[in-house]
Structure 1
């Protein structure tokens, strides 16, 4: 019993340590050469609502300022920033399944019905930084946490702020 309890505690602790973002980057790029940034003119700001767009832009601006990168006009920027909220659908079981059965000894019959399922649309935030000269993405971060329409405005803002802050703890790469 004690072994099972210890295993459960370790599993729970490891789950709490799992990262909420995934990053990828071009390992041949010298990130120290970048000193300025701008939002890319073609930024796909289509999200669940334009309010989320404002929240994302504000969070990205804050985090890049913390990295001592200067925001400049697009024509002068070393890095171009784009972001999007990628819609994803998932199925969610709601309620309980129903079933009944009967039998005696080593023999029995049972019938059951699965719980009701509903489709939920959520959005995953993706932020990309591209070299302004080559127009190639040099760094990318994607959230493992999702926005959904049922969240309050305050919850959405807090989630976006947390996710973007965690994304930029991994920028520049190699400092972990």
Structure 2
């Protein structure tokens, strides 16, 4: 902790240098979204669409609700809720809940400044992130392309190499 002197106001505790105090991109999650999904996690690649709505759950957290999933125009029962959060104490976190599993999946994240990306890793190997994929090899990568597009890619170890196995692309509707 660094102490700064303020004239006529005493000392002020300044935040540690290099550690963000808030996550400015949280507002980029808000609004209505069209979602394009590609998955190569199965024998046959899958393309799908969905709708999503994002809102600020609190000043440190955005909640995204994904529904109306359709694979080849066939509606699917899957619904997801993803909570992206940041606090200086906990850092970047992600919690994903679905109507299929009663066990939420928790992720710890980090900002990769050189790539302008956020990486998230499951905090437990005992959860299923993607059916048939060892969760200890999974990494999610979040990228923003302005305020109207954001992308969440899923990577996993496949035959000893990291490969992209899934993409969710959110476009403002």
TM-score, length-scaled by structure 2: 0.31
More helix by share: 1
More strand by share: 2
TM-score in terms of structure 1 length:
0.30
- Structure with bigger gyration radius: 1
Say which structure, 1 or 2, has more relative contact order (CA 8 Å, 6+ apart).
Answer: 1
